Amino acid sequence: MGLKPAELWGRFGWQGGSCFRCEQTGVPVAEIGEITVAGRTFPLSACQRCVFRLEQLHHTMSERAVRRQNAPSPVPTQPRPIGQWPTSAPLDRPPAHVA
């Protein structure tokens, strides 16, 4: 399924504003949802680039959800008791340095 940008843009109402995601200001943005902070609800507006990106993410997530539904449910495993490393290899080296 391919969605042309023009079709995607047509689904939203665009107006000048700032993007909640990339923080650009003075760009065409569309309300894509809302967020509630401390009992107050604010609209979330995103620019075209971010709307496109979020739309891609949404598509990927729904694909993944379908795949998960079709996959056999994993057998629940018991967590290992704490105090036991999940590897039997001797820990004779310090942890790798993370730059």
Interface residues toward Zn ion, by CB under 5 A:
19, 21-22, 47, 50
Cβ-contact 51, 13 below 8 angstroms: no
CB of 29 to Zn ion, least distance (A): 8
User: Sign (positive/negative) of CA torsion 12, 17, 23, 25?
Assistant: positive
CB of 22 to Zn ion, least distance (A): 3
Nearer to Zn ion by Cβ, of 59 and 64: the residue is 59
CB of 98 to Zn ion, least distance (A): 30
What stretch of H or E contains 10?
Answer: helix 5-10
